[in-house]
Structure 1
Amino acid sequence: MSKNFINLYTFAGVICSTYRLPLPRLLEPLSMVLVLTIGWIIFLSSFIPVHFLLKGHDKLRKNLERCLVELICSFFVASWTGVVKYHGPRPSMRPKQVFVANHTSMIDFIILEQMTAFAVIMQKHPGWVGLLQSTILESVGCIWFNRSEAKDREIVTKKLRDHVLGVDNNPLLIFPEGTCVNNHYTVMFKKGAFELGCSVCPVAIKYNKIFVDAFWNSKKQSFTMHLLQLMTSWAVVCDVWYLEPQNIRPGESPIEFAERVRDIISTRAGLKKVPWDGYLKYSRPSPKHRERKQQSFAESMLRRLEEK
């Protein structure tokens, strides 16, 4: 199953190439912005009436809002000249299931959302992204958390358990790495998605770096600049695989279950597993932890020297 989006710039390029007309590169970002602007006009002119005028018709409103969120995500992908190939059956709305995927950028969510309106668990962001989270994306059941709030963990866990039991809720999507990784590796998965007592559906995402590096380093670049980089690149090309659902095995711990699913995703996307936590981006390990690791390494080296 594949879905290719060709934006206005690509169309204009074909016309100019056919009739040997010049197309200045300056028009490239302008055409991308034009695509996105048209998308927002169509989206907002439809979403606002649906959201406020159909409050007494919850099921119809949810279905329309779901379709509109998928539409605006499709416009985002089109503005990057996105070429996305989807492999496997399209996710369906069923209770007691959760989808987990490797994480390269916040655009992972957009690429998956244009095919299926997932409810995603995501870090709460400031600025215009936070505004979209608290308004439009809440309509599809997205759940937000704040890493600096310790009490958020219990609240989010309860929301996750309640969500996966709902029959009419959108499929739940979690990025268990907890941070963006450079699409060469997968870091350790958090166990939260694997102790909900439901089926886990792995999703593998692999970007083609020939056209653009889709990795978002939030420490060095704002998401706005990241989007502009994608809009001025040749194309965003990637493959998405919806893989066979997995269930926890008898005697298997949630951590072991998470590692097994990570292995499935890594193998399918051609990514290398590494044995460290993605949260090391946000906080340094304590001196005692470093000392224990250094002591363990020194002891292993001494044993090797003695054996020789």
Structure 2
Amino acid sequence: MLLFSLFLLIFKAFFFLILFITCISFLGVTTGVRKAYVHLLLWLFEQMAKLEKETTLNDTETTPEQNLEQNSSQDSSSKESTPTTPPQDSEKFYGIIKRKWSRNIENKLAEHVGTSNVHPLAQKVTKRVASHAKGLKLLAEEGNEINDAEYATIKVLAADTLAFITSGIEAIIEDDVTQRFEAAQLPTWNFLSRSRGGLRVRWYSYFIWAVGAFIRYGLLFPLRFSIFISASFLMATLPALVGYIPNESFRSCLYQISMLMCMRMCMRAFSAIITFHGEENKPKNGISVANHTSPIDVMILSTDNCYAMVGQRHEGFLGLIEKALDRGAHHIWFERAESRDRNAVAKKLQEHVKDPTKMPILIFPEGTCINNTSVMLFKKGSFEVSSVVHPIALKYDSRLGDPFWNSHRQGYLSYLLGMMTSWALICEVWYLPPMHRLEGETSISFARRCQRTIAQKGGLIDLGWDGNLKRTKVPERLRDEQKELFYQYLVQTTPICECGRPSNEQIESIQRGIHPEVFNNDREKSFEEVDNENRNE
């Protein structure tokens, strides 16, 4: 009897709490409890990070006598030295390696040589005129003759061979593409076992982890799960009921109110703190494009505005939600592998954009989830439909929970459960001014310009790689493009082909770029000076 009374009391508390949350979600107000909770967590994590750093420094600080005693006591025959790794709590450590040679090669093969985007490492080219001149002298003494064309070719190939090989090894260890499809490594532990990774953890950190696990699983998760179930039930039923209203304008108004309420409830189930910037640029119709990290992106944006959605048709729980939403508004779901679906999507998009009374349509041009460290190639399809798009940039703070969804490793339900057992969700959203296609600009260039704008505003890395590489192998076409870039680079820097001497514009471009010594007018003068020095010796 006592247990039943206790259960009834808890049930009543949950019921009234969910009813209260539903009311404030409908009104669009907040109590400030989540912000205070998040600020407390961030302060605690900062203190723990400082303590961890001080402890690490104290462990590494030793006197010269202690170092000498330690070195003398080690047996070199039985103990091998292990390579040191960068400290995990360093904010400057973002990956396994720095990949400086890869950056060097990428800049060498860039289309516009000598622009401001050239990496500083690529501009520090060491001139080896003296050493090459000595080598030419030795070859000449042996009876071999090397003209200027052969010299330029040998010089470039010899200088770049090791760089290209090193760049390839760096790409094997850690490339720029595949790591975007995995959860990003945190510099410090956030007391979530899923993000433990290879971080060093002190014994007292496990005590905080145990207390935090009790709070997250014992207190927060039951409440969050109840809120999410209630929001999902409303999301599945309200659009279906609204869909029976014959008046389209009244139906659209009720649908927007119900969706705003449901999405705000869902975000409270994740203890989400969302900050919106640039409210004056909030889209009212047309096409909106945003970078993509997880399906939660839609929920986050829908807490402030209602959108018609375009996306991959899913199965299971996510498929049920898609069908429910489709009853109350005009959404577009498709199969990515079906070419007929792609043609139908383009036609529906054009019809949707032409109707100013319809909600803005939300598109994620990347086509897949990225771990919120970069923005990958935007598909041109959505930029062919309309000459005006409304870009939106999303940036997550992963310190209290990583929102990235790796669909290859976990289903949607398990992902949602993981988010509900995280500390919180922090996200910033920027509504950017609408972008117009320039006169004579192609849809591809328009998409790239929009991609760069979103990446710059969100502080993300702008990558020109296709997100479909997450599901497919690298096509032969991309490999051929890299070969073509290398060939064009050799054409500009060496007389390796029979295409004649480069034009004056090409020579000036190269002199301003990363290989100014290749077409240096003073090169023969340098040879003579070195030869004179050798004769004097």
SS, match of residue 309 in structure 2: strand
Structure 1 residues 194 and 5: CA distance shift in structure 2, 3 A = farther
Does residue 122 in structure 1 map to residue 314 in structure 2? no
Partner of 2:284: 93
Structure 1 residues 33 and 256: CA distance shift in structure 2, 3 A = same
SS, match of residue 183 in structure 1: coil
The answer to whether the 8 Å contact 1:7/1:81 transfers is: no
Partner of 1:211: 400
SS, match of residue 436 in structure 2: coil
Structure 1 residue 103: Cα displacement: 0.5
Quote the Cα distance in structure 2 between the aligned partners of 1:139 and 1:230. Answer: 27
The answer to whether the 8 Å contact 1:98/1:198 transfers is: no
Runs of 5+ consecutive residues of structure 2 not aligned to the other structure: 1-27, 41-210, 497-514, 519-537
Greater C-alpha Rg:
2
Quote the Cα distance in structure 2 between the aligned partners of 1:74 and 1:121. Answer: 21
Runs of 5+ consecutive residues of structure 1 not aligned to the other structure: 15-21
The answer to whether the 8 Å contact 1:3/1:85 transfers is: no
Does residue 262 in structure 1 map to residue 454 in structure 2? no
Structure 1 residues 3 and 283: CA distance shift in structure 2, 3 A = farther
The AA in structure 2 aligned to 1:162 is: E
Partner of 2:228: 36
Quote the Cα distance in structure 2 between the aligned partners of 1:78 and 1:5. Answer: 11
Quote the Cα distance in structure 2 between the aligned partners of 1:137 and 1:65. Answer: 11
Out of 397, 411, 424, the position equivalent to 1:235 is 424
The answer to whether the 8 Å contact 2:267/2:300 transfers is: yes
Partner of 1:275: 464
The answer to whether the 8 Å contact 1:88/1:241 transfers is: yes
Quote the Cα distance in structure 2 between the aligned partners of 1:293 and 1:235. Answer: 43
Structure 1 residue 40: Cα displacement: 4.0
Quote the Cα distance in structure 1 between the aligned partners of 2:31 and 2:373. Answer: 25
SS, match of residue 434 in structure 2: coil
Does residue 79 in structure 1 map to residue 245 in structure 2? no
Structure 1 residues 271 and 5: CA distance shift in structure 2, 3 A = farther
The AA in structure 1 aligned to 2:291 is: N
Out of 190, 198, 202, the position equivalent to 2:387 is 198
Partner of 2:94: none
Quote the Cα distance in structure 1 between the aligned partners of 2:403 and 2:342. Answer: 29
Does residue 107 in structure 1 map to residue 296 in structure 2? yes
CA deviations 1:93-119 (Å, max 9, x no partner) are: 34xx21110001111011001211101
SS, match of residue 274 in structure 2: strand
The answer to whether the 8 Å contact 1:5/1:82 transfers is: no
Quote the Cα distance in structure 2 between the aligned partners of 1:274 and 1:45. Answer: 41
Quote the Cα distance in structure 1 between the aligned partners of 2:402 and 2:311. Answer: 22
Quote the Cα distance in structure 2 between the aligned partners of 1:266 and 1:3. Answer: 31
RMSD: 2.8
Structure 1 residues 50 and 7: CA distance shift in structure 2, 3 A = farther
Quote the Cα distance in structure 1 between the aligned partners of 2:288 and 2:331. Answer: 13
Does residue 156 in structure 1 map to residue 345 in structure 2? yes
Identity of counterpart residues, as a percentage?
32
CA deviations 1:65-106 (Å, max 9, x no partner) are: 121112111111110000000011263434xx2111000111
Quote the Cα distance in structure 1 between the aligned partners of 2:29 and 2:488. Answer: 52
The answer to whether the 8 Å contact 1:82/1:236 transfers is: yes
Structure 1 residue 301: Cα displacement: 8.7
The answer to whether the 8 Å contact 1:118/1:140 transfers is: no
Matches within 5 A, 1:117-196: 117-196=306-385
Quote the Cα distance in structure 2 between the aligned partners of 1:5 and 1:181. Answer: 32
CA deviations 1:49-75 (Å, max 9, x no partner) are: 4333x2x22221121012111211111
Quote the Cα distance in structure 2 between the aligned partners of 1:277 and 1:247. Answer: 23
Structure 1 residue 46: Cα displacement: 4.6
Partner of 1:18: none
The answer to whether the 8 Å contact 2:376/2:465 transfers is: yes
Quote the Cα distance in structure 1 between the aligned partners of 2:478 and 2:432. Answer: 38
Quote the Cα distance in structure 2 between the aligned partners of 1:157 and 1:171. Answer: 15
Quote the Cα distance in structure 1 between the aligned partners of 2:304 and 2:371. Answer: 23
Structure 1 residue 6: Cα displacement: 6.5
Quote the Cα distance in structure 1 between the aligned partners of 2:226 and 2:32. Answer: 13
Partner of 1:62: 252
Quote the Cα distance in structure 1 between the aligned partners of 2:291 and 2:327. Answer: 22
Higher strand share: 1
Partner of 2:480: 292
Quote the Cα distance in structure 2 between the aligned partners of 1:207 and 1:131. Answer: 27
Quote the Cα distance in structure 2 between the aligned partners of 1:3 and 1:218. Answer: 33
> Given the two structures, how large is their TM-score scaled by the length of structure 1?
0.85
Structure 1 residue 47: Cα displacement: 4.4
Structure 1 residue 37: Cα displacement: 2.8
Structure 1 residues 270 and 5: CA distance shift in structure 2, 3 A = farther
Comparing 165-174 with 56-65, greater Cα deviation is found at: 56-65
Quote the Cα distance in structure 1 between the aligned partners of 2:236 and 2:287. Answer: 29
Out of 45, 50, 53, the position equivalent to 2:242 is 50
The answer to whether the 8 Å contact 1:73/1:111 transfers is: yes
Structure 1 residues 224 and 42: CA distance shift in structure 2, 3 A = closer
The answer to whether the 8 Å contact 2:372/2:395 transfers is: yes
Higher helix share: 2
The answer to whether the 8 Å contact 2:239/2:327 transfers is: no
Quote the Cα distance in structure 2 between the aligned partners of 1:241 and 1:229. Answer: 26
> Given the two structures, how large is their TM-score scaled by the length of structure 2?
0.50
